[in-house]
Amino acid sequence: MEPLLNDAGKILIRQDIKNLEYGIAGEKNIAYELKNCHMPMYILHDIYIEYGDLSAQIDYLVFTRKICFVIECKNLYGNVEINSADDFIRSIEYNGKWKKEGIYSPITQNQRHLELMRKIVIDRRGNFLTKFATAKGFDDFYKSVVVLANPKTVLNMKYAKKEIKEKVIRADQLVQYIKERYNESKELADSDAEMQEWAQSFLVLNRQKETGYTEKYEAYRAGSLKGPAEKEAETVRQTEETCDADEKEKIEETAIFKELKAYRLKKSREEQIKPYFIYNNNQLIDLISKMPGTKEALKSVDGFGELKTEKYGEDILKIIEKHR
């Protein structure tokens, strides 16, 4: 596919490949930690669940005899700070300078997974009383945790709230975290058969997610995008982490990136909010990579739900259309 793309498309496809490699490496780190946990458990990896009009792509579901751990894996490069407002801020060093950017909260992302599981579990109960009891006790049996899998990442949670600190850990802390939560639980332990049945009840919901891997690059076939920024784009040949930052720099030089960034700044000033509350740079890059043509397609972009799509969708789609 890459030889058929223009320079901007080549940058994006290389970035996607590297993101995939990062994700795989991070999940391998977690798999290693779980393998060496030395306690009975069933592990479901990379589960895609569709339930009604909702869906969730879950990195790991780890079923122990007392608790199911819902794990969101993040293999982020750069350093991560969580402030008192629950904002996730990443710092990346590039050419001797540090750049900061807000990133979409993985805690919020994982909480959506948890809410879908809550709905599934409650809907399985037969009557109002059992549904009520299940809803009330759900948080005792299902725990959300975000695992930062890159050993080079420095995590700063000095000013983070206590409940946030309890939900974000490094990969080398995962086993200790699972064992501590397990030992703290006052629930009765399941038998091996019950634990297996519990895991199986979610495994049967797993679906093969249909993905058009090449569709997102169609707008970047050679000759489909024009402008000086695309002509200036060069092949990136640097070390792994510097390469990622360099590719992002090149994307930030494109005309569509600059216009969407200017729109974000304008709206943030009108609403007196931080620009990354509208969409951060990673979400902006995802927006450019997918080039949605409708509001429904816009919802597939990271960070764009119903409310944000209705609020900004029409303006964003007009900007994208200008650059097709």
Q: Quick one: pLDDT at residue 214?
A: 63
Q: Quick one: pLDDT at residue 7?
A: 74
Q: Quick one: pLDDT at residue 242?
A: 43
Q: Which amino acid is at 140?
A: D
Q: Quick one: pLDDT at residue 324?
A: 72
Q: Quick one: pLDDT at residue 115?
A: 92
* CA–CA gap between residue 82 and residue 160 (Å, rounded): 6
Q: Quick one: pLDDT at residue 225?
A: 44
Q: Is residue 184 packed enough to be buried (19+ CB in 10 Å), middle (13-18) or exposed (0-12)?
A: exposed
Q: Which amino acid is at 89?
A: I
Asked if 257 and 264 touch (Cβ cutoff 8 Å), the reply is no
321 CB contacts (<8 Å, ≥6 apart)? 293
For the chain, 324 residues long, the average pLDDT of each consecutive 10-residue run is 70 68 70 89 92 87 97 86 90 80 89 93 89 92 92 88 91 93 95 95 84 64 48 37 51 84 90 85 84 87 85 92 81
Across the chain, how many H-helices and E-strands are there?
13, 9
Rounded to two decimals, what is the model's pTM?
Answer: 0.63
Question: Could you tell me the CA-to-CA distances from 31 to 53, 68, 76, 188 in Å, in that order?
Answer: 30, 16, 17, 27
Domains recognised in the chain with CATH numbers = 2-203 (no CATH), 254-322 (1.10.150.80)
